[in-house]
Amino acid sequence: MLRVVVLVILVGVSLGVSIHGNGRIVGGQEAAPAQFPYQVSLRNLAADGVHFCMGVILNQRWVATTVRCTFWRMPVENIAVVAGSNRLSSGGTTYRAIHVVEHPEYRQEGFMTYENDISLIQVDRNIVFSATIASIPISSNFIGGGVNVDIAGFGTRSAEETVHHDAMLYFRSTTLTNADSQNRFPEFMDGEITERTFCTFLGNGQGVCRGLAGAGVVANNAAVGVMSFGNVGGTCGVFPDCHTRLSSFRSWILSVIE
């Protein structure tokens, strides 16, 4: 069975199918207004304001996301942060990015691992907090396996859909130990899961599809991660979804934003 899955993955790669595109979530439910006030939509102003990634509000001037979300979208003036809406098509407040700080040791390694995949966006003015817009603290705890986490963002409900769902979708997943995570991937991904990464898995066809990069992963009212990579070989809900472990970068983040 594993050989079949690997073959499908390699065929997908050979055909140029994206193995880690942005902004999809499958098996999710629609989020209520103000349910996830810390999640924001990142928009590309050079492409008619299209949604391309998620981010999470850390304080009134800074948002965390992943380097893979900011690296190809320079100059910084091309990035807008839309906060306070659970709809892509309406509502929310738009802030312009004025500064991006990417982790200096970011690098892509192996098949699809993004090492030190954390980026910080400074906006042009104070984010006004309200019932629908709020920051969330960064967890200092090393998250292990068996922890329930919430992941939310804009995307599709299945791998077959190609258009972003207008409503924010969310689901609750469960963290894995790094050893368990590694064992659930094909052999060619050996060594891809590092100590600065953790993964979640729910099964039953539910999970992040094509990345949903930058979305905050939250446990016990604190951000424990940002979505980094998933959708191995174009599959959704088959392999674990993996996230940048924020506790590993907490000191660096605070040194930038405070």
Q: CB–CB of 152/168 below 8 Å? A: yes
Are 111 and 159 found together in one domain? no
Is the pLDDT confidence value at 143 over 80?
yes
Are 160 and 242 found together in one domain? yes
pLDDT confidence bin for 108, thresholds 50/70/90: confident
Window from 3-12, 62-71, 185-194, 241-250 with minimum mean pLDDT:
3-12
Are 104 and 148 found together in one domain? no
Helix boundaries (H) for 57-186: 67-70, 178-184
> 151: which strand partners?
171, 217
Residue at 64 is within a domain: yes
Residue at 220 is within a domain: yes
Domain CATH for 108? 2.40.10.10
Are 154 and 190 found together in one domain? yes
Are 117 and 237 found together in one domain? no
Total domains present in the chain: 2
Residue at 24 is within a domain: yes
Are 70 and 153 found together in one domain? no
* Coil, strand or helix at 82: strand
Are 83 and 186 found together in one domain? no
Residue at 13 is within a domain: no
Are 85 and 180 found together in one domain? no
pLDDT confidence bin for 210, thresholds 50/70/90: low
Residue at 184 is within a domain: yes
pLDDT confidence bin for 162, thresholds 50/70/90: low
- What length is written for the chain? 258
* Coil, strand or helix at 173: strand
Tell me the percentage of the chain whose pLDDT exceeds 90: 59
Residue ranges making up the domain that contains 116: 39-134+251-257
Distance, in Å, from the CA atom of 19 to the CA atom of 35, rounded to the nearest integer, reads: 30
> 226: which strand partners?
216, 244
User: What letter represents residue 229's amino acid?
Assistant: F
**Interval 38-51: pLDDT, tens:** 999 999 999 999 89
Window from 16-25, 28-37, 70-79, 228-237 with minimum mean pLDDT:
16-25
